[in-house]
With several copies, the nearest count.
Chain A
Amino acid sequence: MTDPRLNIIPERFKGVKNIIAVSSGKGGVGKSMVSVSLALAIRDKGFTVGLLDLDFTSPSTHIILGAPSLFPSEDKGIVPPITNGLHYMSIVHYSADKPAPLRGSDQSDAIIELLAITRWEKLDYLIIDMPPGLGDATLDMIRLIPRITFLVVSTPSRLAFESVKKLLLLLIELKIPIKGVAENMVMEESNYIKTEIQKLDLRYLTKIAFNKEVEDSIGDPDKIVSSKFHKDVSKILDFI
């Protein structure tokens, strides 16, 4: 027996020029905030952008975007709704924001189903907000999406970087393109992360300051766009 979904997935991404998975070995480093902010920054440059939230057990981008119950339309598949100018797909469209206690194999099945039936419009960029860790979602994206690239987020903390380093080593070994590493929640001057990134021959993309206003901007994309956080994130545009 063959799973007929796997064959159609590459087809679904044919019209997407750049695919960027925002990832980190570690949770809570700001992947979701960076994903949304980056997607909005790309939009404001006049590009067509999609945002795909793959953090099925802890989806956040709908909260950050202040985008409540949207529902994809059906057209020979499902077509992501547009919110804030972003072609937006999240499991929340179906889980109604209730707890989604999914084992890895079910997360994998759900991801494959979603990728197989989602018909993205022609996009210049698709930003994917990934769950933490090196589990099913990360391994599936690597094996299923041929032109995937990774944008990795760390914080200045050693605890974060030790996990991030594991993801980076895995991606390097598998020869998956890495856009670079963004350092988020920076509070003090330190070259620790930058030095470590350069040791791995990777690009250090931007230093994003820790900023209390980030919390207030959650749910309000206009506030995000006018924030210092967004300005820091936007420096990533030079590298993608």
Chain B
Amino acid sequence: MIVILKNESMTFPAMHEWALAEGIISTADKFAKENNITSITEIHIMIGELQQVEHDIVEFALEQLRTPLMKNTKFIIKAIPAKFKCRNCGHEWTFITGDFTEDVSEAIHFVPEMAHVFIKCPNCGSPDFEVSEGRGVWLQSIKGIKDD
């Protein structure tokens, strides 16, 4: 859902979240065109919590990047908690933000797979785990008015 941004300072759009928003906009726009959608009403986005992407910034970027097909689009963002499953011992656990130093958070923020460099399975110590949920930014679905 679109909320009024709490903070529209100019530092916002410079963040790398902008690049992720660009991917969503261009993918949705392309998909709509390919399917003769003349107006996109909703775009559903899932953001995994592992990456600690700032939703405000993503929303701000989405607003700025609206294409002609997105004049009235509602952007609906859902946060997905990060879950891990160890391939070595089968242990499952969830992501706890406070566990990391700022450097580590930064690395995972840009490249989530750096989790395998810095996080170990709390049960067996292995870096060989799967991020079973909550990785990355995904375009879940779009809704629109079709012209056929």
Contact = CB atoms under 8 A, between A and B. Distances in A.
Direct A–B contact in the complex, CB atoms closer than 8 angstroms: yes
A91 B110 CA distance: 10
A4 B58 CA distance: 13
Contacts of A114: 111
Contacts of A113: 110-113, 136
B116 A3 contact: no
Given A8-B22, A109-B112, A94 B107 contact: yes
A3 B138 contact: yes
Looking at chain A, what size class is its interface with the partner chain? 35 or more
Interface stretch (B2-10, B24-32, B91-99): B24-32
Contacts of A91: 111, 114
A76 interface: yes
Given A3-B138, A94-B110, 9 more contacts: A2-B31, A4-B20, A4-B27, A7-B23, A77-B22, A78-B16, A94-B111, A95-B117, A100-B114
Contacts of A72: 110
26 contacts: A2-B138, A4-B20, A4-B26, A4-B137, A6-B27, A8-B22, A76-B15, A76-B16, A78-B16, A94-B110, A94-B114, A95-B107, A95-B117, A96-B103, A102-B116, A109-B112, A110-B111, A113-B110, A116-B23, A142-B126, A143-B87, A143-B88, A143-B128, A170-B127, A173-B125, A174-B125
A174 B123 CA distance: 12
Given A113-B113, A117-B110, A143 B140 contact: no
A159 interface: no
A76 B18 contact: yes
A98 interface: yes
Contacts of B128: 101, 103, 139, 142-143
A11 interface: yes
A223 interface: no
A74 interface: yes
A102 B113 contact: yes
Given A95-B117, A101-B128, A114-B111, A7 B20 contact: no
Contacts of B135: 109
Nearest to A4: B23
Interface of A: 1-8, 11, 72, 74-78, 91, 94-96, 98-103, 106-107, 109-110, 113-114, 116-117, 119, 139, 142-143, 170, 173-175
Nearest to A74: B16
Given A7-B26, A113-B111, A100 B116 contact: yes
Contact of A95 (B16, B24, B46, B114): B114
Contacts of B69: none
Given A2-B31, A143-B128, A116 B13 contact: no
B19 interface: yes
Given A4-B23, A8-B26, A106-B116, A76 B139 contact: no
Contacts of B88: 142-143
A74 B110 CA distance: 10
